[in-house]
Amino acid sequence: NVDLTKMTTTFETDAAETCTLPNGTSGQIKSFAMVTDNGDMVMTVTNPGWAASAKTITFSDIGDGCMLQFIGSKWYVIGNNGCTIES
């Protein structure tokens, strides 16, 4: 699971990898960035605000990044740079 105690999470992949973003606390902001690319990072988002069930955000290249905010009971994308967001 993604560490919710830090505002920023960076990804350094050794191969194709996965992680899960659990529910946050209301108002929480999390940013993510890929800094080393030896395979895609596919993050499953629990309670995304853009879909009815858990969906994914894929980080494919160095510099891919996004910012999410937990509002009420859902994560919402408030910024995206190069990530693929499954809807």
Cβ count within 10 A of residue 66: 19
Question: In the prediction, which pLDDT does 74 show?
Answer: 97
Where the chain has pLDDT below 70, the residues are none
- Find all residues with CB under 8 Å of 23, minimum gap 6, and list them: 46, 47, 70, 73
- Going across the sheet that includes 17-21, the strands are 17-21, 41-45, 55-59, 84-85
| pLDDT at residue 29, rounded to an integer | 98
pLDDT tens for each residue of 64-80: 999 999 999 999 999 99
Q: Is the dihedral of CA 16, 35, 11, 30 positive or negative?
A: negative
Structure tokens at 75: 């994560």
Q: Are 51 and 75 in contact (CB under 8 A)?
A: no
Query: pTM for this structure?
Result: 0.94
Query: What local confidence, expressed as pLDDT, does residue 53 receive?
Result: 85
